[in-house]
């Protein structure tokens, strides 16, 4: 059996069998790699395999079983925390399973392998007049990763989450069995594997419905609010009129102005509004700018940002952003889809934060409590001397998946800079913030989480949900072959860590 395994995954057999007599088999050290979380606040070491076919995936499961190690899946590696980490164990990267298998331009239905990135996806379908239904802030995420973490975009209140647009998928179980799941067949697995952070099996093909567009451009309007209360009431009053709605809040300023925001609202163009859709839908017209002001290459921008990325500097950066936005208030313009959605791909957003990187803390709060909760959170951050450098407000709706974070309300994505010195203080503060979020009936999003504790996860998900998820995992993965750092941190042994 070992012979077959090593042949299929192309490993030098001598290296593996080195220690076979002693019990668990030794892993090939050439597979050791350091894996860095998006934001660079944490890193782990693991044995990385990059299979390209389902048979090779099975072989890696076999290797895991023989070596007594666990497996987690990793795709784009864009989670902020430890969802794609499995320290000292096996990381199964699906990045090479990146083929587009079927595409029907008439209906907008597409079937892809899990490693297909959102970039591959939109670049492929846009010419036919389709766009991705849910776009993350970077296009480097993958379909498999987005489904496993059930990501969202700036259109959450009307389009839901990524999983809402998945029609069916095939899931490879650790036993090697392939099962098909959709909203009729294996309904429970369908709703648990989406958002199930890879703990039930590996997506091997996913079928999704894309969104029809009639132009390569999107109509964007801006609006500036003067404080948190105005921001929240403006959102609530106008969000239904648009397709996308997002607010960049200034949380560095103290006092009454905290929460003043630069709001971007956007809507897709109706048929006929764009006189030449064939031209605007061309990829050449969707390229992100390569330079700022035509001279500074985007890859160097972080060096200019770096001196300002501290508590003192960010106060002025946020202020400048606010006043610049006020200068252009009520602006209305048309922008290519890619430029509107993928802000994270303009520059290296993590580099200005320095060697310690950043984490994001993103609570989801029901409408009724959102203003009170965010106000309290901002005040608490200032009290602890750890203000967040960038706050992004989005509107959401509840989602139907088992490990769910959706609420009929708002999320605030907050960037916190991490340094070797402030790390313990950030950890302590997030624990206090967790209590505030729970008090207001809030929830958390695992793709962005680095700090939750088992008790908090149990509190917002409910013991029953966790029990259902673990029971399902027990059924699909009885030997507990699938584990990640995230799983061990929050849910293993019923979360008694």
Task: Say how far apart CA 243 and CA 156 lie, in whole Å.
Answer: 9
Closer residue to other proteins in complex, CB, 27/253: 27
Asked whether 334 and 218 are in contact (CB, 8 A), the reply is: yes
Cα(343)–Cα(179) distance, rounded to whole angstroms? Answer: 37
Name which of 296 and 480 has its Cβ closer to other proteins: 480
Closest contact distance (angstroms) between CB of 218 and other proteins is 35
The CA distances from residue 108 to 122, 127, 209, 314, in Å, are 12, 12, 6, 43
Question: What are the backbone dihedrals phi and psi of residue 105, each rounded to the nearest 5 degrees, phi first?
Answer: -65, -20
Nearest to 369 by CA among 340, 410, 397: 410
Taking the least distance from each CB to other proteins, the nearer of 40 and 205 is 40
Whichever of 19 and 185 has its CB closer to other proteins, that residue is 19
Cα 405 from chain centroid? 12
Nearer to other proteins, 19 or 279 (CB): 19
We find the least distance from the C-beta atom of residue 381 to other proteins, in angstroms, to be 16
Q: Residues in the site for other proteins, rule: CB under 8 A? A: 18-19, 22, 24, 26-27, 29, 32-34, 37, 41-42, 44-45, 69, 81-82, 85, 87-89, 359, 418, 423-424, 426-427, 450-451, 485, 488-489, 492-493, 497
Residue 497 Cβ, how far from other proteins at the closest point, in Å? Answer: 5
- Nearer Cβ to other proteins, position 88 or 177? 88
Q: How far is the CB of 22 from other proteins (least distance, A)?
A: 5
Cβ 372 to other proteins, closest distance in Å? 27
From residue 435, give the alpha-carbon distance in Å to each of 250, 430, 431, 439, 466: 23, 9, 7, 6, 20
Closest approach of other proteins to the CB of residue 210, in Å = 34
3-class DSSP state of 154? coil
Given the complex with other proteins, which of 85 and 317 has the nearer CB atom? 85
Provide the minimum distance between the beta carbon of 28 and other proteins in the complex, in angstroms, as a whole number. Answer: 10
- Least distance in Å: CB of 346 to other proteins? 26
Treating both helix axes as pointing N-terminal to C-terminal, what angle do 228-238 and 367-383 enclose, rounded to 10 degrees?
150
Would you say 80 or 190 has its CB closer to other proteins?
Answer: 80
- How large is the greatest C-alpha to C-alpha distance in the chain, in angstroms? 73
Burial-class residue 162 by CB neighbours within 10 Å (0-12, 13-18, 19+).
Answer: buried
Question: Cβ neighbours of residue 74 under 8 Å, at least 6 residues apart?
Answer: 35, 48, 84, 85, 91, 92, 93, 94, 145
Give the bridge partners for 365, in sequence order. 410
């Amino acid at each position: 059996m070992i012979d077959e395994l090593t042949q299929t995954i192309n490993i030098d057999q001598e290296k593996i069998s080195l220690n076979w007599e002693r019990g668990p088999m030794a892993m090939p050290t050439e597979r050791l790699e350091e894996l860095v979380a998006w934001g660079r606040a944490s890193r782990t070491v693991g044995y990385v395999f990059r299979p390209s076919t389902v048979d090779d995936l099975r072989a890696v499961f076999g290797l895991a079983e023989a070596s007594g190690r666990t497996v987690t899946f990793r795709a784009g590696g864009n989670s902020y925390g430890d969802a794609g980490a499995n320290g000292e164990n096996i990381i199964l990267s699906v990045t090479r399973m990146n083929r587009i298998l079927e595409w029907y331009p008439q209906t907008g239905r597409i079937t892809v392998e899990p490693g297909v990135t959102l970039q591959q996806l939109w670049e492929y379908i846009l010419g036919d007049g389709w766009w991705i239904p849910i776009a993350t802030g970077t296009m480097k995420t993958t379909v498999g990763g987005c489904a496993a973490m059930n990501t969202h975009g700036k259109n959450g209140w009307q389009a839901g989450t990524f999983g809402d647009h998945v029609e069916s998928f095939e899931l490879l179980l650790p036993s090697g069995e392939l099962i098909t799941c959709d909203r009729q067949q294996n309904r429970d697995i369908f709703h648990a594997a989406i958002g199930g952070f890879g703990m039930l099996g590996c997506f091997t093909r996913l079928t999704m419905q894309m969104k029809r567009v009639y132009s390569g451009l999107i109509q964007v309007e801006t609006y500036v609010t003067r404080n948190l209360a105005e921001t929240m009431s403006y959102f609530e009053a106008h969000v239904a009129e648009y397709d996308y709605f997002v607010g960049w809040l200034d949380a560095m300023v103290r006092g009454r102005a905290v929460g003043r925001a630069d709001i971007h609202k956007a809507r897709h163009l109706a048929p006929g509004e764009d006189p030449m859709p064939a031209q605007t839908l061309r990829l050449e017209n969707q390229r992100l700018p390569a330079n700022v002001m035509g001279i500074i290459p985007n890859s160097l921008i972080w060096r200019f940002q770096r001196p300002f990325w501290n508590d003192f500097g960010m106060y002025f950066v946020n202020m400048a952003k606010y006043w610049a936005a006020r200068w252009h208030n009520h602006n209305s313009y048309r922008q290519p889809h890619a430029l509107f959605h993928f802000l994270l791909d303009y520059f290296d957003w993590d580099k200005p934060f320095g060697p310690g990187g950043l984490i994001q803390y993103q609570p989801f709060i029901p409408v009724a409590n959102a203003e009170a909760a965010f106000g309290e959170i901002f005040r608490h951050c200032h009290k602890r001397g750890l203000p967040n450098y960038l706050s992004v407000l989005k509107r959401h709706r509840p989602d139907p998946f088992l490990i769910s974070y959706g609420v009929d309300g708002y999320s605030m994505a907050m960037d916190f800079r991490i340094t070797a010195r402030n790390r313990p203080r950030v950890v302590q503060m997030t624990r206090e913030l967790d209590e505030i979020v729970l008090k207001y009936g809030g929830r958390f999003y695992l793709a962005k989480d680095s700090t939750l504790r088992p008790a908090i996860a149990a509190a917002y998900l409910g013991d029953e949900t966790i029990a259902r998820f673990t029971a399902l995992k027990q059924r699909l993965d009885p030997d507990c072959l699938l584990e990640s750092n995230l799983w061990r941190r929050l849910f293993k042994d019923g979360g008694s860590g």
